[in-house]
Chains A and B, each alone.
Chain A
Amino acid sequence: MIRVILPQHLRTLANVTEREVLVDVARPVTVKSILDAIENNFPVLRGTIRDHGTLKHRPMLRFFACEEDLTHDSPDKALPEKIATGAEPFFIVGAIAGG
């Protein structure tokens, strides 16, 4: 299972109480396949992480994993093995803005 850490507002929206959610993703595990799984498990989140139509990620969200910034990588690029095995979580993070 893939471990995904959602921002607080999306956890509230999805009615998730735990900081971390688990999703089942077939290999190869990619940003796109993780987001597909998140949106399938939590349809209310469709449109909140990436645009409904273009599927581009929202400009004020970032994706981190294994201490790397994956935000601007291809969404089809295979993620590190530690993400695929669940050893490390995949972070969806709201960009810092404001004081």
Chain B
Amino acid sequence: MSSVRVLVGTRKGAFVLNSDGKRDNWDVSGPFFGGWEIYHVKGSPVDPNRIYVSQTSGWFGQIIQRSNDGGKTWEVPGGAPPPGPGGMPAGQSNKFAYDISAQTGKPLTTHQWYDGTQHPWEFKRVWHIEPSVDNPDTIYAGVEDAAMFRSTDGGNTWHELAGLRATQGDKWSPGAGGMGLHTILIDPNNPKRMFIAISAAGAFRTDDGGNNWKPITKGLNSNFLPNPTAEIGHCVHRIAMHKDKPNTLYMQKHWDVMRTDDAGENWHEISGNLPTDFGFPIDVHAHEPETIYVVPIKSDGEHYPPEGKLRVYRSRTGGNQWEPLTNGLPQKDCYVNILRDAMSVDSLEDCGIYFGTTGGQVYCSPDGGDNWKAIVHDLPAVLSVEVQTLK
């Protein structure tokens, strides 16, 4: 029988939630890396037991952790001394250095600060880890200040794909949470094509594996910009893709829910009848490419659900027509937020939908959103949720 493993990153550690395919009874393990901020935990689609973690701290910097046994044990890639006599390991596994080399790099410029002045570019943390679709040792990392790194040796060493930062990076600016690269989507049919999103720079696409990038923001409209339809500067909160329709992307922007059907060349709004089109996560049903999910949040200044009612909204029409999903979710006095990396889906026949809140709940709907139940109620604030469907 199939089972699911939910990987949860929180402000104070990581948790692993396991259940059989009924998704009714859960085993909770953790905290792993207690006391550290766990921005993201994600497994390889090629080898589900290979899991990567971004472990970060304002005191001690960035750590990458790796598991080869589905989260039972962990190691820092390249962090242990080698057995027997010999030199010490390079200890590069946590080293995220912007590539400014003449051969492959780009000069480290400044970027735009909140007040429009220029600000030094500095590495702070890894926001998002995206294992490749064809090799468990090849992984991508989206970092703050925004850049994309790749490792081809299981996280031992990292190299920046500096062409992205050179795509008008001096015009990028931080969102409220920092200037993080938070979304990486890989086209499963063409792994050289990838989409990324940065707050607040916008969305970008590469068609050559990360060497060259182009902004894909035509159709976006952001009133906080001097030119609301500028190519750069949009605060994209999240992008989602269905594997069967990789040219169709759904976007939750700072305001507006958007859609493209031509790999980002043109976007159009699909907010429709949503009570508010501000929010953070967006995701797609595992088996229905036109069924999408968002969690509306009252406003950019009030990061909680409207009316104190936690409602997931589902569209079965690829946008514009939305229905609230409330069964099992709190419908009074609820003022949590759902962060951009904190929603995921499983691929069981009855697609499960999952999300975590800043109040420490992780909710699961085993039937595509019709009914919800909290797996856990009292974790630290949830930063990320990923689901693995295990055969």
Contacts and interface: CB of A to CB of B under 8 A. Distances in A.
Q: Do A and B come from one complex?
A: yes
Given A43-B80, A43-B88, A44-B76, A58 B94 contact: no
Nearest to B35: A9
A51 B61 CA distance: 8
Interface string B348-373: 00000000000000000000000000
A46 B60 contact: no
What interface size band does chain A fall in? 20 to 34
A39 B91 contact: yes
Interface in A31-60: 39-41, 43-44, 46-49, 51-53, 58, 60
B88 A60 contact: no
Interface residues of B, number: 22
B63 A94 contact: no
Contacts of A39: 91
A60 B63 contact: no
B97 interface: yes
Contacts of A9: 35-36, 57, 59-60
B275 interface: no
Contact of B97 (A8, A44, A52, A97): A52
Most chain-B Cβ atoms within 10 A of its Cβ — which of A44, A51, A52, A95? Answer: A44
A48 B89 contact: no
B94 A60 contact: no
Contacts of B61: 47-48, 51, 58
Contacts of A46: 91, 94-95
Most chain-B Cβ atoms within 10 A of its Cβ — which of A7, A46, A51, A61? Answer: A46
A25 to B, nearest CB: 15
A53 B97 contact: yes
Contacts of A21: none
Interface string B52-81: 000001111111000000000000101111
Contacts of B76: 13, 44
B87 to A, nearest CB: 10
Interface of A: 7-10, 13, 39-41, 43-44, 46-49, 51-53, 58, 60-61, 94-95, 97
